Structure 1
Amino acid sequence: MDGMLSGKSMLDLSRALRDALRGVFGEQVSGFRVLEHADGDRAWLAYRFVLYDFSPIVFTYDRGAFGFGEDHGNVVLPVLTSTESAPGLDDLTRLMTELDRRVRLRIPDKYLADRGVGTKD
């Protein structure tokens, strides 16, 4: 398990994610929901939230591997995974900042501008 998670439950991870998301996205994140979780030898978490009232995102964690994907019902398109050169769970602020950059690439500039968020990087 990640160093940040040592001795912590998946619900602790979900709370840490919520706090980091609020810290980076402020009012642009909503709809926090733990979909399922398990602790123990097979630690597992599925967590859902919405960014910019536009992108439903699912975070999954399974025994050290994690990823964020855009939820389209029966299909989740990958946005950011632990197999990429991305910040780890021990630096949630940097991880959320990278998630923000990647999610904004998928949202039309006019929509972001109308919400007062600014344009993509």
Structure 2
Amino acid sequence: MIKAEFGIIDKVDFHKDYSEYEPQRYHCIYIDDDVYINDWWERLSTMKTYFHCMDRPEFALARWGVTLIPPESLPIFLDIVISDPRIETDRHLYELANRIREAIDANKFMIHYGL
């Protein structure tokens, strides 16, 4: 399984490069990248994000790097996740939906670590 990991950033440092791999720091959970990300790619490509730092605005996820997902993009991401019928049988997907809701409620950025 190739993991796509997601966590919540407590306080974003707008000058920091988040390229360092620190999943424990952000209490990341994971889903299987091969199983989900390809299927979601078209919808993910409409989601505003940042790659590695706030100076690199992009769309979708950095498949081989770090993505910062701003609060305004989280409802789109949540809709993608909860629209996937596999959420009923995959606890990792269910946990991701809960983590996104937590970030939305707290108005916080999420971080994604790709392959």
TM bracket, shorter-chain basis: 0.3 to 0.5
Normalized per residue, the structure richer in helix is: 2
Structure with more relative contact order (C-alpha pairs < 8 Å, separation 6 or more): 2
TM-score, normalization: structure 2?
0.33
Structure with higher strand content:
1
Q: TM-score, normalised by structure 1?
A: 0.32
